[in-house]
Amino acid sequence: MRILVSINILLFGVLTVSAIQPKKRTEIQFNVPGLKDTTIKIGQYNNGVLTEFATSAIKKGKIVIKADSVWPAGVYSLFVRPDMSADFFIGAEPNIKGHLPKNIKWLNNNIIIDKNDESKGFAEFIRKMDAHVIQLGIWHKQLENVSDNGLKTKIQDSLKVISESMQKFWSQSAVMYKNTPFGTYVGSYIQFQVPENINQNYYLCNHFFDNMPLDNSLFLHVPGIDSRIFDYMDRVVVQHPDSINLYGMALFSKTNGNIEMKRALYYLLMKYTAESRIMGIEKLRINLAERALQQPEMYKLDSLHIQKLRAYIDRETPTVLDNQAPAFEVETYRGSTINLYNIEANYTVLLFWEPTCSHCAIEIPKIKELIWDKYAETGVKIFAVNVESNVDAWQKFILKHEIDKWENGMTGDKHFYVKSLYNVDVTPKIFLLDQNKRIIAKGIGAETLAEILFRLINFGHIY
């Protein structure tokens, strides 16, 4: 009985102590001398983009924020006006006290932290970075205007000294603030050296994110994750659609199950594919879409987003690079019918066009000059498919531009079927097929088509 009573007392004591523990939350206080009562905004980084996070009033020269919870570790911006801001850092310790300079005109990145070591470290980091950027800008400007080789060498040496000084500062800060959010953040700036006797591209492909681990949600709330991913995809990965797809999708394994980072990576890679001009980029975009559709709740897809992704997959999959070109049959210029797969050629240029299209009127003569006149005797054939219903304009265009020796077809009553099959949303639209009618290039102009055929015929490959 005594044992049970003792246990109850012990449990009650533990529960009492737990109950009186203060709830941890973010508290920020900045003294702002000389600034009248007004409202300021707090910006937070999300996926590398600064967005409005909170608002607060300045009363009696003070900014006081008492949040209901702990704000995520990361970089925040305090906006007095759109053109007047200062950054501060919230790390493991959520409470910050500081003050702004009396000369409010020069607010930008001049917050002075009175309490919070990580925030102090970040403030020093920002001041050093600003000075570093200014000095680099001065030297680079001088370098552009110097013709003397000796002076150029001196300026280049100065630039090297500045860069080495910053690398030293970042390394020292990373050690000083080891195992803290700020230490992790500043460590992401350190340039790593590629070991000797190791292929640089191979090493970078596998170690580019060593100092910005993609399983750490901190990097969602600091600037840089978007540019780091875009740099990786544009400058490190070989610019071939298969490599881009392979290494792009492989980044998800680096998140180690971190759902926030997976979600961010999906949206950042989707943005990258939307902005990329790489031929065949849709291969990566389709794989990203299929991945998201497998777990729509995790990727926070609403019904409209899901609908758009499914439509994109259905629209683009048939003509992905390396796929077999979809078969179709159309009426010919001479009144018979022709099937794509009945055209025997080493390379088939599949051209969708319209006789009343102004761009087609410019591009088709180029195709004749750069492709037909040069490569017809090497086994290159052109299958020009008119997706317009004006027969008279079609026939006149063929005769005027002397392209009657091409394989000329017209979609006729198969107009919508063929256009949707090849996603012909604009004209002209060009596909290049190999001997087996495999798609090896698409969405290109006459000049690029000529370059690709030159490489294929002379060297046997595109890239």
Burial class, 249, CB count within 10 angstroms (exposed 0-12 / middle 13-18 / buried 19+):
middle
Question: Is residue 67 within 8 Å of residue 96, measured between CB atoms?
Answer: no
Q: Does 265 have pLDDT greater than 90?
A: yes
Residue 185: alpha-carbon gap to chain centroid: 20
- Retrieve residue 132's tokens: 């570093």
- What is the average pLDDT across 387-398? 93
108 pLDDT tier (thresholds 50, 70, 90):
low
Residue 420: what pLDDT? 94
Using the CB atoms, write b or e for 316-355: b if 16+ within 10 Å: eeebebeeebeebebbebeeeebebeeeebebbbbbbbbb
- What is the average pLDDT across 279-300? 97
Q: Which of 8-17, 97-106, 259-268 has the highest mean pLDDT?
A: 259-268
Residues 149-166: tens digit of each pLDDT: 888 898 888 888 988 999
Residues 313-348: tens digit of each pLDDT: 999 999 999 999 999 999 998 889 999 999 999 999
What's the angle, vertex CA 279, arms to CA 273 and CA 284, rounded to 5? Answer: 40
- Retrieve residue 98's tokens: 């500081």
What's the angle, vertex CA 413, arms to CA 409 and CA 415, rounded to 5? Answer: 70
Q: What is the CATH number of domain 27-117?
A: 2.60.40.1120
- What is the average pLDDT across 368-382? 96
Rg (CA), the chain: 31
Residue 320: what pLDDT? 96
What's the angle, vertex CA 12, arms to CA 7 and CA 13, rounded to 5? Answer: 100
Q: Does 167 have pLDDT greater than 60?
A: yes
Q: Which of 42-56, 82-96, 184-198 has the highest mean pLDDT?
A: 184-198
33 phi and psi, to 5 degrees? -65, 135
Residue 62: what pLDDT? 84
- What is the average pLDDT across 389-407? 94
Question: Is residue 74 within 8 Å of residue 44, measured between CB atoms?
Answer: yes
Prediction pTM value = 0.87
Residue in 206, 270, 252, 257 with CA at minimum distance from that of residue 232: 206
72: preceding bond cis by omega (within 30 degrees):
no
Residues 409-421: tens digit of each pLDDT: 999 889 899 999 9
Q: Does 105 have pLDDT greater than 70?
A: no
Q: Which amino acid is at 91?
A: G
Q: Which amino acid is at 252?
A: F
User: Higher model confidence: residue 24 or residue 196?
Assistant: 196
- What is the average pLDDT across 64-88? 85
- Give the integer Cα–Cα distance in Å for 444 and 207: 34
Residue 169: what pLDDT? 92
Q: Does 457 have pLDDT greater than 70?
A: yes
- What is the average pLDDT across 66-78? 90
For the chain, what percent of residues have pLDDT higher than 90? 62
User: Higher model confidence: residue 254 or residue 147?
Assistant: 254
What's the angle, vertex CA 449, arms to CA 416 and CA 309, rounded to 5? Answer: 45
Three-state SS across the chain? CHHHHHHHHHHHHHHHHHHHCCCCCCEEEEECCCCCCEEEEEEEEECCEEEEEEEEEEECCEEEEECCCCCCCEEEEEEEECCEEEEEEECCCCEEEEECCCCHHHCCCCCEEEECHHHHHHHHHHHHHHHHHHHHHHHHHHHHCCCCHHHHHHHHHHHHHHHHHHHHHHHHHHHHCCCCHHHHHHHCCCCCCCCCCCCHHHHHHHHCCCCCCCCCHHHHCCCCHHHHHHHHHHHHCCCCHHHHHHHHHHHHHHHCCCHHHHHHHHHHHHHHHHHCCCCCCHHHHHHHHHHHHHCCCCCCCCHHHHHHHHHHHHHHHHHCCCCECCCCEEEECCCCEEEHHHCCCCEEEEEEECCCCHHHHHHHHHHHHHHHHHHHHHCEEEEEEECCCCHHHHHHHHHHCCCCCCEEEECHHHHHHHHHHCCCCCCCEEEEECCCCEEEEECCCHHHHHHHHHHHHHHCCCC
* Annotation: CATH topology of 329-459: Glutaredoxin (3.40.30)
**What mean pLDDT is reported for the chain?**
89
User: Higher model confidence: residue 32 or residue 375?
Assistant: 375
Residue 463: what pLDDT? 76
**Residues contacting residue 147 through CB under 8 Å, at least 6 positions apart:** none
